[in-house]
Structure 1
Amino acid sequence: MKLGFDKWVVVLTVTTAALLQTIDSSIVNVTLNQMMGNLGASLGDISWVVTGYAAASAVMITMSGWLSAKLGRRNYFAASIVVFTIASVFCGLSTNVWELVFFRVLQGIGGGGLLTTAQSILIQTFPKEDIGIANAIFGMGVIIGPSIGPTLGGYITDNLSWNWVFYINIPFGILATVMTYAYIKEPAEKVAAGSMDWLALIMLTVGIGGLQIILEKGQENDWFDSRFITLMTTAAVLCIVGFIWRQLTVDIPILDLRLLRRRRYAVGTLFNFILGFGLFASVFIIPVFCQTILGFTASQTGLLLMPGSIATGLMMPVVGGLLRKNFTSPIVYAGIGFLMFFGFCFDLSFISLEAGPDYFFWPLIVRGIGMGLIFIPLTTVTLADLKPVEIPQGSALSNTIRQLGGTFGTAIMTTYISTRTVFHSSRLGDNISVYNPLSADRLRQYTQLFLSKGDALVTATSKAYRLLQGSVVKQALVMTYADAFLIIGGFFLVCVPLLLLFIGKKIEAPAHVEMAME
């Protein structure tokens, strides 16, 4: 199989652009702790750096097909890279958390068009006999991004600063833009762009944004005791209901919700939401826990996450090969994957302050293998009953739902951690009393420690109480994160019996899924 030089450059170009998007979706996770310190942000504030990017990407996925037809595939692809790169510069220059969030949203607008457009470029550039090797190289690039993102981010953060996780995009963005205009061609057959349903897009944006604000700020504003949260809820509900109604009634919807009438597709889309919820939430809270509670450096945290990501990358071609040989149903592989993900979460629900890097190794390997077992089988089952003409819309809707699951998962876990920490702190604080032998003994030890350093009795006693209170808060955080892991695992455990909803006629992979597994 021989590929011409120009086609190899096309593969390199789209893979470079995809790497920009996939690396940036994970590279910031290990820098969040330093960002919180440097920008004076809370955990709730800094979570917008992750969710703002993901939500903007989700909205842009719905527009990418229309924009590609309207502007030209090459022009739209290059514009996405330019927007992403310029936004990266301003992310690095941000002086407060809300500046950073704003420019991360712009990054998401650029990044949302990269992956879907890159895949369409490959499919339309290569003949059918060569598409397998092109997709394999592109797929490896997509897998490598999340694998090296946290490790690269940790190294940059420890040796430079968090700003440089964004500046590193600049040379690659410039290179990808130049290569796009030099080597990527417009398809011979132009696709009519039609008209964009701007009303539906506005309702989708307001609905997603409103829900995000409610989840992030509801606890802080006492939920529905706040007029702001009540108004935001009303606006979000009306916009989401209006968006659903419009997509079911117009001739050319931006997201074809009518596909959800297909039972397998609807169930698979629900699973994609849960997959996004668990994946994004766990990838968000693990680095924060390791750095904030256990005192790991950014580099240690990045290296911690890398083996699991590599395990996912290695498993995907293996599972693809097994599916092609029809050893068993894709449902079986997905079921094993969901159970493994639950096992990972259940193991981490016993986390303690004594946990070191070795404690996370095997649970993260288990999660990585589980993800590999879930991803391709779930895609195969979800799209199996769709007609070829329906697959682009089906894939776009499924990807959007997975992104939304990730944004909501991160927001919900952030709110849960805030509220649950208060609960555990209160429960543990009730035991701090001079009448409790254990706490009295601990107070006595701390007081003697400060007395031995020359403090007066009143000062030593006050410091002892503060030190004990700090220990209580830290233990409450450990208990809260343990609960959070168990909740995430519960979502995946519930999926196992729900897989029975897929049972029906024999499942065969659509053509584009088979090509991706070659």
Structure 2
Amino acid sequence: MAAAASASAAPLPPLTGSARAWGTLSLSAAVFMNVLDTSIANVSLPAIAGDLGVSPTQGTWVITSFAVANAIAVPLTGWLSQRFGQVRLFVASVALFVIASLLCGLAPNMTLLIAARALQGFVAGPMIPLSQSLLLASYPRALAGLAMAMWSMTTLVAPVMGPLLGGWITDNMSWPWIFYINVPVGIAAVLATWAIFRHRESERRSLPIDSIGLALLVVWVGAMQLVLDIGKEHDWFASPVVVASALVAVVGLAAFLLWERDEAHPVVDLTLFRNRNFWAGSLATSVGYGLFFGNVVLLPLWLQQYMGYTATQAGEIMAPVGLLAMVLSPIVGKTIGRVDPRRYATFAFVVFAIVLWMRSRFSTQADFATIMVPTIIQGISMAFFFIPLVTLTLSEIEPARIPAASGLSNFMRITAGAVGTSVTTTLWERRATLHHAQLVENLHPASPGFDQAFGLLRAAGMSDAQALAQMERMATQQAFMLAANDIFYLSAVLFMVLIPLVWLAHAPRPHAGGAADAAAGAH
């Protein structure tokens, strides 16, 4: 097999047999490790903050430092892969991720932990888009859908495993082990990937780096993330700091777009948006993911704060979402070449809407099984969401531009997830305040129900003050439940509104499926 120069001259054949199986496993292991680290630290924040002597609010920077650095690095994938080669860049990213994980676990204070997490997020940037590109290059056209199904299963399972695994490690070991577990997985992925893919290197070209574009990207993404991080604590645009950060983000984004449009070697290839399938698919994926991720954050918050669930119980509620997704993803992958992916994506959005409508009818009396049923059903929509939309997004992109296209679409998805989380939690609290005010309007001695409720609480042995405090707690619980119902219902409506966006894209050619066409010359 020839080296990189020859590889660029003639397409390499797909991998076969055990090489393809081990290649898929090594790429998937690296992606699993990456995606796991976006959520595994969430449930460990109180332990980390307590151990390092900072407040829980300061502890959230453990999450956001990773997200900001990751979002900045993802769009650089196209340039980096051309400069260093896809295989070398992927292997280097995984190796550096292992080193950064080790530094996270060894960090003696919050400052060094945040720095190590930022490094971890930055070097993780190329891993997801390059894993897609290398995996598509390993499979024949007819099996490209199956390749994406195998890849997507890791991204479906990891967010569910993260909180469960993180909670168990924190309770039974110590928080540094949430980072140490990456070391053996990462080393195995590096060795296996290099052994299998080192002779399949992509063509390398020495391109100048767009330093001004990169600086503008860092500025506007960093400022936007700062707005999302501190906005809720500082009453959003009532704070001069938030207003200033928002202005920097907006002006920085405008300057970035203007600069990149005329740059010969841009950090982000904005010409990709000239392709209808790319912009429609990326936008549908991003908005859908933002809605999905915001609700994934909201449900366990509501359960733990106002329904009396422990972190473990909330994790058990969330875990079954991966069951049907794992069963159905291979089926979707095998049939995506014969079925219009727009139909599958539409089905996914309809199921998402049904799931969220079911949740919008929850009450404070909802039991464990009632709350879990929509979560199980949601697995169906996840299987039909990622694979068809990735296929649709990349369907008309030429092979050489797949890393850049995948990097840009993943950047949009990651950013939408951060925005969705912030908007969802803020809107939840504001709607709860409104519902609470409406509920307590009727909570006075002259109202018919007041005397009855007050009398029952007094009969249970409570003092007047205790009875009033209990009624206030019940009103708060009801207010946040009603606010959660509002968010669930609005999200259901928005998923239905997204469906026409999917149909703005062209149907990929049926013989290969969109992603297969995109990968045609990549192997």
TM-score, normalised to structure 1, is 0.83
Residue 333 of structure 1 corresponds to 344
Q: Which amino acid aligns with 1:470?
A: R
Aligned positions of 1:119-198 closer than 5 A: 119-122=132-135, 138=151, 140-160=153-173, 163-177=176-190, 185=198, 187=200, 190-198=203-211
- Which residue of 1 is the match for residue 373 of structure 2? 362
Q: Are the equivalent residues in 1 in contact too, given 2:439–2:475 (CA < 8 A)?
A: yes
Identity rate, percent = 31
The answer to whether the 8 A contact 1:154-1:300 is kept is no
Match of 1:17 among 5, 30, 34: 30
TM-score, length basis structure 2: 0.83
Match of 1:509 among 509, 513, 517: 513
SS in 1 for 2:319: helix
Q: Which runs of 5+ in 1 are unaligned?
A: 452-459
CA RMSD of aligned residues (A): 3.6
Deviates more, 1:296-305 or 1:405-414: 296-305
Match of 2:491 in 1: 488
Cα distance, 1:126 vs structure 2: 7.7
C-alpha displacement of 1:213: 2.2
Determine if the alignment matches structure 1 residue 470 to structure 2 residue 481.
Answer: no
Matched, 1:106 2:119: yes
Q: Which deviations, in whole Å up to 9, do the C-alpha atoms of 1:120-163 show, x marking residues without a partner?
A: 45566788899898776555444443453344334334544555
Cα distance in 1 between the residues matched to 2:138 and 2:277: 31
Asked if 1:306 is matched to 2:319, the reply is yes
Offset of residue 111 of structure 1? 2.3
User: Are 2:146 and 2:334, in contact at CA under 8 Å, matched by a contact in 1?
Assistant: no
* Inter-partner Cα distance in structure 1 for 2:487 and 2:49: 21
Deviates more, 1:163-172 or 1:365-374: 163-172
After superposition, the Cα gap between the structure-2 partners of 1:46 and 1:434, relative to the gap in structure 1 and judged at 3 Å, is farther
Q: Which amino acid aligns with 1:484?
A: I
Structure 1 residue 241, shift from structure 2 partner: 0.6
Deviations 1:55-104 (A, max 9, x none): 43222111234334545655543443344334445555678888766544
Q: Which residue matches 2:388?
A: 377
Deviation sequence 1:308-328 (CA, Å, 0-9, x none):
2121222222123333234xx
User: What amino acid sits opposite 1:67 in the alignment?
Assistant: L
CA deviations 1:408-441 (Å, max 9, x no partner) are 1111112222322322222223333222232343
Which segment is superposed worse, 341-350 or 92-101? 92-101
Q: Alpha-carbon deviations, 1:473-508, whole Å to 9, x = none? A: 222222222222222222211112333423678676
Q: What is the match of residue 27 of structure 1?
A: 40
Assess if the C-alpha contact under 8 Å between 1:62 and 1:400 holds in 2.
Answer: yes
1:228 aligns with 2:231: no
C-alpha displacement of 1:404: 1.2
Note the alpha carbon deviations across 1:147-186, whole angstroms, 9 max, x for none. 5334433433454455543333233234445556666626
**Counterpart secondary structure, 2:308:** coil
Contact 2:436 2:479 in 1 (8 A): yes
Q: Does 1:205 align with 2:218?
A: yes
Q: 2: distance between equivalents of 1:376 and 1:102?
A: 34
2:79 paired residue among 35, 44, 66: 66
Letter paired with 2:228: L
What's the CA shift for 1:194?
A: 0.8
Q: CA deviation at 1:294?
A: 2.3
> Which segments of 5 or more consecutive residues in structure 2 lack a partner in the other structure?
1-13
Q: Would the alpha carbon gap of residues 221 and 128 (structure 1) be closer, same or farther in structure 2, given more than 3 Å must change?
A: closer
Of 245, 249, 261, 2:262 maps to 249
Could you tell me how far 1:273 is from its partner in structure 2? 1.4
Q: Which amino acid aligns with 2:513?
A: A
CA 1:129–1:264 in 2, change beyond 3 Å: closer, same or farther?
A: closer
Question: How many Å separate the matches in 2 of 1:13 and 1:446?
Answer: 60
Once structures 1 and 2 are overlaid, which stretch shifts more, 54-63 or 437-446? Answer: 437-446
Counterpart for residue 258 of structure 1: 271
Shift of 1:212: 2.4
d(CA) in 2 for partners of 1:420, 1:358: 26
Segment of structure 1 superposing worse, 406-415 or 309-318:
309-318
Deviations 1:225-258 (A, max 9, x none): 4322222122111110111112211122222222
Residue 267 of structure 1 and its aligned partner are, at CA, apart by: 1.8
In the aligned structure 2, how far is the partner of 1:179 from the partner of 1:299? 34
For 2:445, what is the secondary structure of its paired residue? Answer: coil
Q: What is the distance in 1 between the residues matched to 2:116 and 2:368?
A: 33
**Residues of 1 paired with 2:280 and 2:15: CA distance?**
41
| Aligned residue runs from structure 1 range 386-465, under 5 A | 386-450=397-461, 460-465=463-468
What count of residue pairs does the alignment treat as equivalent?
505
Q: How many angstroms apart in 2 are the aligned matches of 1:194 and 1:265?
A: 24
- Between 335-344 and 363-372, report the one with greater CA deviation: 363-372
Moved more, 397-406 or 284-293: 284-293
CA deviation map 1:20-51 (0-9, x unaligned)? 11222343455567778888756x76765555
1:357 Cα deviation from its structure 2 partner: 2.5
Change in Cα spacing, 1:389 to 1:103, as seen in structure 2 (3 Å) is closer
Q: Distance in 2 between matches of 1:54 and 1:496?
A: 28
- Distance in 1, matches of 2:302 and 2:149, equals 35
SS of the residue corresponding to residue 444 of structure 2 reads: coil
Kindly provide the amino acid, as one letter, of the partner of residue 56 in structure 1: A
Over 3 Å counting, the alpha-carbon distance change for 1:77 and 1:36 in structure 2 is: same
Residue 456 of structure 1: aligned partner: none
How far the C-alpha of 1:403 sits from its partner, in A, is 1.4
Q: Equivalences for 1:265-304 in 2 at 5 Å?
A: 265-304=278-317
Residues 110 and 285 of structure 1: CA distance in aligned 2, closer, same or farther (over 3 Å):
farther
CA gap of 1:217–1:466, structure 2 versus 1, over 3 A, is same
Q: Summarize the Cα distance change of 1:78–1:34 in structure 2 as closer, same or farther, 3 Å threshold.
A: same
Residues 150 and 301, structure 1, Cα contact 8 Å, conserved in 2: no
Shift of 1:351: 1.9
* Deviation, structure 1 residue 277: 0.3
User: Contact conserved, 1:32 with 1:288, CA < 8 A, in 2?
Assistant: no
Structure 2 distance, partners of 1:417, 1:265, is 32
